[in-house]
Structure 1
């Protein structure tokens, strides 16, 4: 072998090593990058679809992965410690900080993890609590298991605090950023603030408007623009209309009337004209922030798999 041939052979051998090194390095980088994008795992005893691919057993999840179950539920285990379950015959999109339910039902069990669906955002309020959410048509059923569950609008306004062992059924309203809220309860004064505890949503709502001093001790229905409190745990309600339901000292549902028609007295508050009662309609109790509370639910049996017994309330 002459020197020229030997030299070319050395160059070829060097090029081959360089190409092999480059290929291995790229493979390592791509694998590492893919691994960094994995946010957790979906686990099922049966078959499921993850990102439109049929999977049996388990599959890695990346940000925004879609999970569609069949006859068996799927457990979502995220690397940040969050846990959720997607029920059988359900569909959801999984993110590191939230699960978006698109069909069926799901359960989340981490206070830092949110479940979003139909304009609502649901999350456990404390460690150990579980939020069970089911879609039935356009209606959202929220059940609190082993602890309080918070319901907010996607804009961040608190809509309800669901007590342990109970459930709430919510119907989306007209949407479009609707920020009208309707609440019913007895007006009280604490630390210079007018407050009202709503009978259905269990929220302590701060009322703002004129002439509220004269409503102290009365049970009223108020409507107006709702904004979140600084801690996002309740609402501040700018009262636009007020409906008196009970005078101080009355009980048993007795309602004062005004005039011969026998209807409760209704008056505007804060200088606004009366008649506005939110997208949820003018009757009944509860809130309406782009949503209507359709049912309040009786006590639910313990355990995440317990059946939900609904008790209809007149709205």
Structure 2
């Protein structure tokens, strides 16, 4: 990892209201990656150990993983759900006991794009019903041991602080309240990973089912005005993207509410992974996180 990227990470983190950052740069041509981590004490670790809450990165890492390996499970309605164009609301508080019934009550119909936790969860329910299998069994074929459900974190695992819930610091447990209350392996949130675990998982994914080749094929018929492609977000405006200037329009990935992201540029065959704990003290001011994402992303594509 170039020292200039580490120094940039230190400079950017010093301007934030959160204290942890991990960065990975993936080379798909050579099936390799480099990474570093800046812990709360601003100590740079070349061998990262923090488990970050991936938040909504969980959506493509689960539902999209099933779509790419088991396309037969995705009829027209499930494809609408996968791409957030099925008419479901964005989200809300779900009941711990009746959340499935609440989600199944919505009609599915082609609608304008509305990014939706509910759509992701309903997609999970539909593919589980159609396959007769649990989501985890369907999607985890490429998971690295250091990417796993929050309830399966190894003893002694370290995680950044993500805020306060019920007067207790959220660390080592999922930040999303619905995911926390449901307590099961679900599709809209709940995966944790070290930066190395996520980078290795993305490389495994590409090696196992040709992730990048499948997305390259999907881009051929994709309309750029449609935000989601096979459940992934993609770069629509290269001059003003959270992936960072320098990413091409053949770049796909996702963002997570806790301050996480991954992007894969098919033209460069390069991946960018940025993990933070941006909700540590407050979540509503995102300008610093936006600057960090864009600045680090631009530096990664430039390397």
Q: TM-score, normalised by structure 1?
A: 0.23
Give the structure with higher Rg (CA).
1
Relative to its length, the structure with more helix (as a share) is: 2
Higher RCO (CA 8 Å, separation ≥ 6 residues): 2
